[in-house]
Structure 1
Amino acid sequence: MRFLIFLILGAFALGCAQDKQPILGKTAFQKRLNAEFRDATKSPLTDKDRKGFKGLSFFEVDSSYVVTATLQRTPDSPWFLMKTTTDRESKERVYGVLKFQLKGEFYELKVYQGEELMAQEEYQDYLFLPFLDATNGTESYGGGRYIDLRIPEGDHLTIDFNTAYNPYCAYNEKYSCPIVPRYNYLDTEIRAGVKAYKKK
């Protein structure tokens, strides 16, 4: 009888271990993102999609997509209403222009600061970098991707395109996502970060 109980308990433990899949990802960023997408309290996925979710698709991590940018601040820039994928508008301002070199070519992107986020202590130094590139609509999400940045002490900061992620509306249409301004189009392929989401 005791042997039978141990056998049942062992089978139950094995089943639980198999249900608990490891968090996939090659970097801390990838693992954190996959963990959030599996968490019902944080995931943008529908309940149906989350149940079959194993991990996001990423481009291979490539150090050539980590660049040092010069930040040209624009302290007198006016607030404006950035359009989103819904009727909602986000009050933003251009915090500055990021100028950098990527694979021998020079580019620049505007980086934004949101009024609503600035009111929250943990986001007072947050900067929002949305961008478009030549992979959109094929290998990456058609609406562009985002990168999170923080205000640097000096005039330089690091842009790691390996941490580029999709807006939540790429996974679930119930979300309202800022539309990437056309100015922030990079006429090159950014083959780094999160790829387009394809339902299994």
Structure 2
Amino acid sequence: MRNLIVIVLAFVAFPSFAQSDSTKAVEEIKSFQKELNEEYKDRTKSPLTTKDFSTFKEHDFFPIDLKYRVTAKLNLAPGSSFSPMATTGKKIRTYRVFGTVEFSIDGKTFKVPVYQSKELMLQPEYADYLFFPFTDLTNGSESYEAGRYIGLRIPKDDELIIDFNQAYNPYCAYADGYSCPIVPTANNLNVAVRAGVRFQKKH
């Protein structure tokens, strides 16, 4: 999972240049897709089972759609405490609500939490990493049933770009034995997010 975080953060956008240049945005997304595919083809990094690894060629992505690249307002949650987030395994993962992000998709406005990892914030290279898990109306039919993740960076001001075209599956979508954070109910989006990694059958 650590390798995946590195890939995710490499392509996180900031409002200062995102959305004003659609060509750059599309290039960013394509680079993210390429790097994600390359990680899964690397036997030392891939979460795929031996059987799936032998047949893996690339992820199935929704077509790139910049309407799912949104500018969100970040409302901080100062003083929030860390607590365990439920996972699919035995490993405990501790997060705090860093704040809430407010954005709109298809005319619907959402205000949902974004999280900070206690473990990662103590490491200089990940100190500004934010975790944005979500579920949406495509889960179970067009995308992984348990939801998807997006990696973000703490912005310098109160705005940040959330690019759902860079949404990826938790490792648990591909193999057993991982302790993947379970998407909190507060992060359910009542809209179909047809962006990012597409359907993954339950292993």
User: Structures share a fold, TM > 0.5?
Assistant: yes
Q: Counterparts of 1:16-165 in structure 2 under 5 Å?
A: 27-165=30-168
Structure showing greater relative contact order (alpha-carbon pairs closer than 8 Å, 6 or more residues apart): 2
TM-score by length of 2: 0.83
Q: Cα deviations across residues 122-144 of structure 1 (Å, max 9, x unaligned)?
A: 10000000001001111100110
Give the RMSD, CA atoms, in angstroms. Answer: 1.2
Secondary structure of the structure 2 residue equivalent to 1:54: coil
Distance in 2, matches of 1:63 and 1:113, equals 26
Q: Cα deviations across residues 49-71 of structure 1 (Å, max 9, x unaligned)?
A: 11111111010000100100000
1:86 Cα deviation (Å)?
Answer: 1.0
The answer as to whether partners of 1:56 and 1:197 remain within 8 angstroms in 2 is no
TM-score by length of 1: 0.84
Indicate the residue corresponding to 1:196 in structure 2. Answer: 199
Distance in 2, matches of 1:42 and 1:121, equals 22
1:87 Cα deviation (Å)?
Answer: 2.2
The percentage of counterpart residues that share the same residue type is: 54
How many residue pairs match? The answer is 174
Tell me the amino acid that sits aligned with residue 170 of structure 1: A
1:157 Cα deviation (Å)?
Answer: 0.2
Distance in 2, matches of 1:145 and 1:198, equals 14
Distance in 1, matches of 2:99 and 2:80, equals 9
1:120 Cα deviation (Å)?
Answer: 1.3
Distance in 1, matches of 2:169 and 2:190, equals 19
The answer as to whether partners of 2:89 and 2:177 remain within 8 angstroms in 1 is no
Unpaired runs of 5+ residues, structure 2, are: 1-28
Indicate the residue corresponding to 1:21 in structure 2. Answer: none
Distance in 1, matches of 2:184 and 2:128, equals 21
> Of the two, which has the highest radius of gyration?
1
The answer as to whether partners of 2:97 and 2:116 remain within 8 angstroms in 1 is yes
Deviating beyond 3 angstroms after TM superposition, the runs of 4 or more aligned structure 1 residues are: none
Q: Counterparts of 1:180-195 in structure 2 under 5 Å?
A: 180-195=183-198
